[in-house]
Amino acid sequence: MSRNTWFELLRTGVAIAAALTIGFVVTSLVSESPVEAFGYFLKGPFTSIRRFGSFLEAAVPLTFTGLAVSLVFSAGQFNMGAEGQFFIGAVAATAAGVFLDLPPVIHTIVCLAAGMIAGAIGGFIPGVLKARWNASELVASLMLNYVFLKLGMYLITYHLRDPSAGALVSLPLKESSWLPQFTRTTKLHAGIFVMFLVVFLCYYFLYRTSRGYEARMTGQNLSFARYSGIPVLKVILLIQVLGGAVAGLGGAVEMLGIYRRFQWQASPGYGFDGVIIAILARNNPLLVPLAAVFLAYLRVGADVMAMYADVSAEMVSIIQAVIILLVTAEAFLAGYRHRLTLKEVKQRASAS
């Protein structure tokens, strides 16, 4: 393992430890029994099979948004749109699942494709605004999140709503569209295979194909990419569309595997968690599932804590924010790295 990899691991570890410490301090400020509350948080995901299952389930959508953000980050673009793409992908899959009448496997595939296309459109818009008009993809994708949230809620409310249900939920998806669940105790479902397939495809695309090479070089140094003859605008557009498709697919998988009827009133926040995951995974698709598992652990732990203790689940946002801030802080522990380098150089000098 190179010195650099080791150092990055160390830095991530220290950042997570620091974040958890701060999380505990904040917990102590609001809780009567902070140790107990924090115990629920840390041990929560392991306290029952159902919770362990829900912890793994939560890693699935997070992996999709993490991959979506990683793809786009790899090309040096900002993608804040995974949130809206995931949401609209779920809505599109719901529509396809409710309205279409198709044989089992085919129906599932069509629903997944619907989610992907919706998400891809969500990536195409900021992509084309950037590539054609040089408009900030950052602001564009953030605006689009709101547009998709409102558009999705409009479709659910006016066209997909289940009038017999008390709450604002969609009609149930036809069973032919479902991704099968493995057991009764947990909701773990066949979408996990789709997930692993997409993890592999994303990795293959980025590191083993010419297009992926184009994307990574565009991200590394845009001027260099242009000079080398890489069509950077096409690359930027392509990567935004791919990122959108992956996020949209994630939303579809979530609908077909877990909910089977649309019941969100607000965006579930997986897109922004995707940013954290991409940062932790250093945009490497193979590391994304690991980072997603970690984030899912935080989410489920926080839910368990909120259920059994007097601390609300939003505490976890503090931990997440500190992790982003410290992991991406170049100067964090840089002094330590410099001392290491200095020592090494001196050793080399005295040896020669």
Q: Which of residues 262-281 bind other proteins (CB under 8 A)?
A: 272, 275, 279
How crowded is residue 106: how many other Cβ atoms within 10 Å of its Cβ? 12
Q: Judged by CB under 8 A, does residue 352 bind other proteins?
A: no
Q: Judged by CB under 8 A, does residue 336 bind other proteins?
A: no
Size of the residue set binding other proteins (CB under 8 A): 78
Is 185 or 228 the residue whose CB approaches other proteins more closely?
228
Q: Judged by CB under 8 A, does residue 143 bind other proteins?
A: yes
Kindly tell me which residue out of 91, 131, 171, 304 binds other proteins, with binding defined by CB under 8 A. Answer: 131
Is 3 or 50 the residue whose CB approaches other proteins more closely?
3
Kindly tell me which residue out of 37, 192, 217, 245 binds other proteins, with binding defined by CB under 8 A. Answer: 217
Helix (H, G, I), strand (E, B) or coil at 181: strand
Q: Decide if 298 contacts 319 (C-beta within 8 A).
A: yes
Give the shortest CB-149-to-other proteins separation in angstroms: 9
Q: Judged by CB under 8 A, does residue 338 bind other proteins?
A: yes
Rounded to whole angstroms, the Cα distance separating 156 from 330 reads 44
Per-residue CA distances from 197 to 64, 163, 214, 298 (Å): 11, 37, 22, 25
Q: Which range, of 6-14, 41-49, 175-183, 334-342, touches other proteins by CB under 8 A?
A: 334-342
Q: Which range, of 37-45, 132-140, 176-184, 291-299, touches other proteins by CB under 8 A?
A: 132-140
Rounded to whole angstroms, the Cα distance separating 168 from 264 reads 9
Q: Is 233 exposed, middle or buried (0-12, 13-18, 19+ CB in 10 A)?
A: middle
Structure tokens at 122: 């969500």
Give the shortest CB-161-to-other proteins separation in angstroms: 12
Q: Which of residues 30-59 bind other proteins (CB under 8 A)?
A: 30
Kindly tell me which residue out of 12, 108, 186, 320 binds other proteins, with binding defined by CB under 8 A. Answer: 320
Q: Which of residues 70-129 bind other proteins (CB under 8 A)?
A: 78, 80, 125, 129
Q: Judged by CB under 8 A, does residue 220 bind other proteins?
A: yes
CB-based contacts of 189, cutoff 8 Å, min separation 6: 57, 179, 180, 181, 182, 256, 257, 258
Is 106 or 325 the residue whose CB approaches other proteins more closely?
325
Q: Judged by CB under 8 A, does residue 347 bind other proteins?
A: no
Helix (H, G, I), strand (E, B) or coil at 261: coil
Amino acid at 302: A
Q: Judged by CB under 8 A, does residue 140 bind other proteins?
A: yes
Q: Which of residues 158-187 bind other proteins (CB under 8 A)?
A: 158
Q: Which range, of 48-56, 111-119, 281-289, 329-337, touches other proteins by CB under 8 A?
A: 329-337
Rounded to whole angstroms, the Cα distance separating 281 from 292 reads 9
Q: Which of residues 236-265 bind other proteins (CB under 8 A)?
A: none
Instruction: Assign 3-class secondary structure to 3-19.
Output: HHHHHHHHHHHHHHHHH
Q: Which range, of 100-108, 191-199, 286-294, 323-331, touches other proteins by CB under 8 A?
A: 323-331
Give the shortest CB-20-to-other proteins separation in angstroms: 15
Is 200 or 224 the residue whose CB approaches other proteins more closely?
224
Give one word for 102, left, alpha or beta, with left for phi > 0 and alpha for psi -120 to 50: beta
Q: Which of residues 16-35 bind other proteins (CB under 8 A)?
A: 30
In b/e form, how buried is each residue of 71-83, taking b as 16+ CB within 10 angstroms? bbbbbbbbbbbbb
- Bridge partners of residue 170, in order along the sequence: 161
Q: Judged by CB under 8 A, does residue 286 bind other proteins?
A: no
